[in-house]
Amino acid sequence: MDSTSNAVMRTTEPVAEAPANPASDHVAPKEPTPALPMARQKADNESRLPTRIWLKNTGVRYVTRILALVTAVALWQVASTNGFHFYINFDNIPAPSVVGTALVAELAGHEFYLHILHSLERIAIAYALAVVLGVLLGVAMGSSRWAEDIILPYIELLRPIPGVAWIPLAILMLPTEQSSIIFITFLGALFPVVINTVHGVEQSNSVLIRAARSLGASKKAILWHVVLPGAMPSIVTGLAIGMGVAWFSLLAGEIISGQYGIGYYTWNSYTLIQYPQIIIGMFTIGGLGTLCTLLIRQACNPLLKWQAKGGRS
Amino acid sequence: MSTVPVNDNRLAVLDHSRLRAKAGKSGDERGRISVRDVDIVFDTASGPHVAVQNASLTVRPGEFVCLLGPSGCGKSTLMNAIAGFVAPTRGEVTVDGYAVTEPGPDRGMVFQQHSLFPWKSVKENVAFGPLMAGVGQNEANSVARTFLSLVGLAAFENAYPNTLSGGMQQRVGIARALANYPSVLLMDEPFGALDAQTRIMMQENLLDIWREFHNTVVFVTHDIDEAVFLSDRIVVMSASPGRIIADIDVDLPRPREQSLLTSPDFMALKRQCLDLIRKETLNAFQRQNKAG
Ligand SMILES: Nc1ncnc2c1ncn2[C@@H]1O[C@H](COP(=O)(O)OP(=O)(O)O)[C@@H](O)[C@H]1O
Ligand SMILES: [Mg+2]
């Protein structure tokens, strides 16, 4: 989780600079040649590329990527069926064909969906709590030095502690297994949201705040109309990273306790020697995590549409 | 353009004839600026820094005044004191008799660049001031449309600022400042980031708009041509510490046109400003050399 939190900071940088992006065209904007037509021209050129060249450039690259995956699956199949064993042991690893057959069986039943639903429920509750609290704390810390001095020590102290490390304490502190898992998931999502929100709020543009003040805006109006929209690109980054870390933490919690959930399913398959199910569980976790992050980004897109060059409402 | 629903006198939108009549009456004139014995000192790492020293200045309602001086001489600082962003260390700034303590919608600001809210459409930017003044959304929108047509950007009301050229963005900035019907318009090098052709166009545009409103304008620039072309009066400042060293009346006929730029009267005024600024720059160099 430590490496994850580092990734939080790193991933923040480029996107967090996005609010300043409109400022990047201060290379003497000229009246008759706004930046827009150039951007359009470029897009047009790309879409007008003859199909043959497109195939040669983009098509070939996609084919290469698919071939790379197919090769890996084929090698896996060969290794599993022949019981490859040279340091890495494929003796107990089911072949892709076996995993496929097991997957079809799982999809036909209803138990598998139950596991998914339980995980999704925990994610939904934990993530919603983390987003609300995270944005509130982040805005408070970003806009008031006093709030920052009170809250920051807690954040800095607790943030480096991996979600898994919370499990014993969570079980001791909280009444049910369900609440322990949700707590751990919540913590995982909370820190990226808080930190990215603070980051976004703290770099709000002072010229825009002065403009708003001279237009008669109150402190509350400035927060709502200037600070929050300016911080939004950074907040959205925090929300997306938070979703990833939430899944990461959820799995840790579900593996150790719980009776349902896709993490439980994966670990339980191991103890029950249902090896194909391990692999089904792994890919389900990856797929759901990616899907949720994608959904969050999509849901936030309308808030960032102003960033798109040439975007008109 | 002048048929926008009105239920607030302040927003009696662009009834030009009435505005002119109002400007003509002396009783309820708004926009008198008085700067008295103002010092502005900044605390910096290397000790106190006097940005403005002993500045006194009166601007009459409806006057177009340029603050001219080399960059770093304290023009922005003095203007920020009028805007209410900087408190004078000594002395007093009043607008229409009231001491300036904070920024307010009676003093519209136009900044050099990138001051539009990038997440608001052009219309939403201009409607922001009226909304903050408490008028309804519909009315704010119609005020915004009126002012956008005034600056010739009605067709772009739904565009986002980052899709507009620098000149267009500045026109939106002017519309946004005017939408509050400020008695004073404060402009800090508003055309400084534009190319020469655009700048000249914008200057003419601004004078056209000002002819309609005739509110008080304080316009900061380091461009002598710009100052002479635009203003009724040029207040020249010198650097370190920033002081007012001259107050020049510009008695050129209005409306001002491009042909003016080559007229003998224009040239004479330009020379007067140039001489003043050169003398000050030389003095500053000598002081620096002695200090160094
Ligand atoms: N907030 C501030 N803190 C410290 N020094 C400042 C501040 N604002 C301006 N100054 C200094 O005051 C002087 C005048 O600045 P400014 O008014 O911006 O000049 P101008 O607008 O004429 O270019 C400059 O030397 C500048 O460095
Ligand atoms: Mg300045």
Residue nearest to atom 27 of ligand 1 (CA): B72
Residue B3 DSSP symbol: -
Q: Do B117 and A225 touch (CB under 8 A)?
A: yes
Burial of A280 from C-beta contacts in 10 A (0-12 / 13-18 / 19+) = buried
Per-residue confidence (pLDDT) for residue B28, from 0 to 100:
57
- pLDDT above 80 for B25: no
Q: Residue A312 and residue B176: Cβ atoms within 8 Å? A: no
Give me the pLDDT at residue B19, please: 36
Q: What is the pTM of this model?
A: 0.82
Which residues between 156 and 195 in chain A have a beta carbon less than 8 angstroms from any beta carbon of chain B?
none
Quick check: B169 and A34 CB within 8 A? Answer: no
- Does residue A110 lie within any of the structural domains? yes
Q: What is the pLDDT of residues B90-133, one digit of tens each?
A: 999 999 999 999 999 999 999 999 999 999 999 999 999 999 99
Residue-wise pLDDT for A176-208, tens only, equals: 999 999 999 999 999 999 999 999 999 999 999
Q: Kindly tell me if the per-residue pLDDT of B11 is higher than 90.
A: no
Number of domains chain A contains: 2
Using the predicted structure, report yes or no on whether residue A310 has a pLDDT greater than 80: no
B44 CA closest ligand 1 atom index: 4
Between residues A46 and A195, which one has the greater pLDDT? A195
Considering the domain boundaries, does residue B169 fall inside one? no
The whole-number pLDDT of residue B2 equals 40
The answer on A200 and A152 residing in a single domain is: yes
Q: Does B156 map to a domain?
A: no
Cβ of B240 below 6 Å from ligand 1: no
Same domain, A222 and A293: yes
Dump pLDDT digits (tens) for A144-186.
999 999 999 999 999 999 888 999 999 999 999 999 999 999 9
Instruction: List the single best residue of A215, A306, A313 to mutate versus B (max B Cβ within 10 A).
Output: A215
Model confidence at B172, pLDDT cuts 50, 70, 90, reads very high
Give domain status of residue B250, yes or no: yes
As a whole number of Å, the end-to-end CA separation of chain B is 60
Q: Give the domain extent around A125.
A: 96-306
In the reported structure, the alpha carbon of residue B227 is separated from the centroid of ligand 2 by a whole-number distance in angstroms of: 15
Mutual angle of helices A111-143 and A228-256, in 10-degree steps: 140
Rounded to the nearest whole angstrom, what is the distance from the C-alpha of residue B189 to the centroid of ligand 2?
7
Residues 17-36 of chain A whose Cβ lies under 8 A from any Cβ of chain B: 19, 21-23, 25-26, 28-36
Tell me which residue has its CA closest to atom 6 in ligand 1.
B42
Give the gyration radius of chain A's Cα atoms.
24
Residues from chain A that touch B109, judged by Cβ atoms under 8 A, are: 210-211, 214
Q: How far is the CA of A189 from the centre of ligand 2 (A)?
A: 44
Give chain A's end-to-end CA distance (angstroms, integer): 40
Residue nearest (by alpha carbon) to ligand 1 atom 10: B51
CA A103 to chain centre: 26
Interface contact B117-A232, CB threshold 8 A: no
Instruction: List the single residue in A19, A216, A232 with the smallest CB-CB distance to B104.
Output: A216
pLDDT of residue A174: 93
Q: Where are the strands (E) in chain B, listed by range?
A: 33-44, 47-59, 64-68, 90-95, 98-99, 107-110, 184-188, 216-221, 233-238, 243-249
**B163 to A211: CB separation less than 8 angstroms, yes or no:** no
Mean pLDDT of the residues in chain B: 89
> Dihedrals φ, ψ of B246, to 5°?
-160, 155
Instruction: pLDDT band for A54, please (50, 70, 90 cuts).
Output: confident
What average pLDDT score do residues A68-88 get? 92
* pLDDT score for A18: 33
CB of B226 within 8 A of CB of B31? no
Instruction: Examine residue A123 and state whether it is found in any structural domain, yes or no.
Output: yes
Q: How far is the CA of B129 from the centre of ligand 1 (A)?
A: 28
CA distance B179 to chain A (A): 9
- Percentage of chain B beyond pLDDT 90 is 78
Write B261-265 long-range contacts (CB < 8 A, 24+): B261/B225, B261/B229
* A126 lies in some domain: yes
* B177 is a domain residue: no
Confidence of residue A46 (pLDDT cuts 50, 70, 90): low
Evaluate whether residue A30 is within a structural domain.
Answer: no
* Residues of chain B neighbouring A218 (CB-CB closer than 8 A): 132
Does the C-beta of B77 come closer than 6 Å to ligand 1? yes
What digits encode the pLDDT tens for the residues B229-280?
A: 999 999 999 987 899 999 999 999 999 988 899 999 999 999 999 998 888 8
Residue pLDDT, tens place only, B30-61: 899 999 999 999 999 999 999 999 999 999 99
Residues B141-170 pLDDT 10s: 999 999 999 999 999 999 999 999 999 999
Q: In what order do the strands lie in the sheet with B64-68?
A: B107-110, B184-188, B216-221, B64-68, B233-238, B243-249
Q: What total of structural domains would you count in chain B?
A: 1
* Ligand 1 neighbourhood includes B241 CB (under 6 angstroms): no
The pLDDT tens digits of the residues spanning A91-106 come to: 889 999 999 999 999 9
Residue A284: pLDDT over 80: yes
Q: How far apart are CA A211 and CA A199, in angstroms?
A: 22
Residues A101 and A74 in one domain: no
CATH classification of the domain holding B100: 3.40.50.300
Q: Residue range A77-82: average pLDDT?
A: 92
Q: What is the pLDDT of residue A10?
A: 37
Kindly identify which residue of chain A lies nearest to residue B171, measuring between CA atoms. A31
Q: What letter represents residue B89's amino acid?
A: T
Q: Which amino acid is at A118?
A: H
In a domain, A293, yes or no: yes
Nearest to A225 among B107, B111, B128 (CB): B128
Same domain membership, residue A264 and residue A127: yes
Q: How far is CA A71 from CA A74, A78, A86, A96, A121, in A?
A: 5, 10, 20, 12, 37
Rg of chain B in Å (alpha carbons): 19
Mutate to test the interface with A, among B8, B165, B174, B183 (most CBs of A within 10 A): B165
The whole domain housing B33 covers 25-106+185-190+209-291
In the prediction, which pLDDT does A48 show?
61
pLDDT grade for A55, boundaries at 50, 70 and 90: confident
Residue A204 C-alpha from the chain's centroid:
24
Tell me: pLDDT of A43 over 60.
no
Residue A134 lies in a domain: yes
Residue A246 in this model has a pLDDT that exceeds 70: yes
Contact A159, A5 (CB under 8 A): yes
pLDDT of residue A45: 52
Determine whether the interchain pair A214/B168 forms a contact, defined as Cβ–Cβ distance below 8 Å: no
ipTM passes above 0.85: yes
Q: Which residue has the higher pLDDT, B191 or B13?
A: B191
Q: Compute the distance between CA of residue B18 and CA of residue B250 in angstroms, rounded to an integer.
A: 27
Assess whether pLDDT exceeds 90 at residue B171. yes
Whether B247 maps to a domain, the answer reads yes
pLDDT of residue A49: 65
